[in-house]
């Protein structure tokens, strides 16, 4: 259900080849938000992985996870180090990532602990998704739940036992420490100048005393600039 943010993302029940087919199809689907699957044989998968750095990263992450789940934990640890050396990314063995994941630029991504990521999720470079200083919810969960068709843009942080609802968007450089409902866009304020021609600029907030005072004076000035009607005096 869309309203149940604590419903966990799906587990990996597909074969590795099926997951990679979903990943490849979603990667080339643009901004369409619907399940995409293109059947591919092993030669085509190998060709796509070798030709595309992002798909190569996804393949290594998938393989690392499958090796760890299959009990080949020492080999999985080697692949984790390879991923870090090649991309500067840290992906937890325990993180569950659904089909159709999209990492357009996989550099500097951190996905920690028992994070659960649903289907057809987009994650930009230098994003951090993980715990928040040991904080946990009432169920003892410490890591985020990312639902289907979510987009997490460049440089964002999702920290703690939070959930991001279906089809939501986390704007660049946002920090998420509370639940986000379905179909929600989260974003920080745009940048503002702090120095112009060598002089500091002090922005006036509307909710501050001086900001309110300036707003009031501007309104008064506008009133005085209005044409004075002839009252017939003379």
In tens digits, the chain (234 residues) has pLDDT values of 344 677 666 656 788 888 888 888 887 776 667 777 888 888 888 888 888 889 999 999 999 999 999 999 999 999 999 999 999 999 999 999 999 999 999 999 999 999 999 999 999 999 999 998 888 888 888 999 999 999 999 999 999 999 999 999 999 999 999 999 999 999 876 666 777 788 777 665 555 555 566 667 777 777 777 665 555 544
* CA angle at 162 for the pair 94 and 60, rounded to the nearest 5°: 30
Structural element, H or E, at residue 97:
strand 96-97
| pLDDT for the residue 214 | 65
- Return the structure tokens found at 50: 């070798």
Using the structure block, give the residue that is written with the tokens 């928040």.
132
Beta bridge partners of 122: 102, 151
| pLDDT for the residue 4 | 67
Q: Which residues contact 208 (CB under 8 A, 6 or more apart)?
A: none
Q: What's the pTM value of the predicted model, to 2 decimals?
A: 0.78
Alpha-carbon span 41 to 21, nearest angstrom: 9
Other Cβ atoms within 10 Å of 29 Cβ, number: 16
């Amino acid at each position: 259900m869309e309203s149940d943010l604590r419903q966990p993302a799906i587990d990996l029940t597909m074969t590795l080849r099926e997951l990679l087919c979903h990943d490849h199809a979603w990667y080339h689907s643009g901004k369409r938000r619907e399940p995409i699957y293109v059947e591919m044989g092993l030669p085509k998968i190998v060709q796509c992985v070798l030709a595309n750095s992002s798909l190569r990263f996804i393949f290594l992450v998938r393989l690392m996870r499958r090796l760890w789940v299959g009990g080949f934990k020492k080999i999985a640890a080697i692949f984790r180090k390879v991923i870090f050396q090649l991309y500067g990314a840290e992906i937890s063995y325990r993180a569950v990532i659904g089909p159709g994941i999209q990492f357009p630029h996989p550099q500097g991504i951190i996905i920690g602990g028992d994070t659960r990521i649903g289907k057809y999720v987009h994650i930009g470079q230098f994003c951090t998704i993980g715990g928040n200083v040991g904080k946990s919810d009432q169920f003892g969960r410490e890591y985020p739940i990312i639902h289907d068709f979510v987009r997490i843009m460049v440089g964002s942080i999702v920290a703690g036992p939070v959930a991001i609802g279906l089809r939501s968007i986390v704007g660049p450089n946002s920090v998420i420490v509370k639940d986000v409902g379905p179909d929600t866009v989260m974003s920080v304020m745009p940048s503002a100048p702090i120095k112009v021609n060598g002089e500091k600029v002090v922005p006036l907030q509307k909710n501050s005393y001086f900001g309110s005072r300036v707003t009031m004076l501007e309104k008064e000035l506008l009133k005085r600039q209005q044409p004075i009607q002839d009252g017939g005096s003379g």
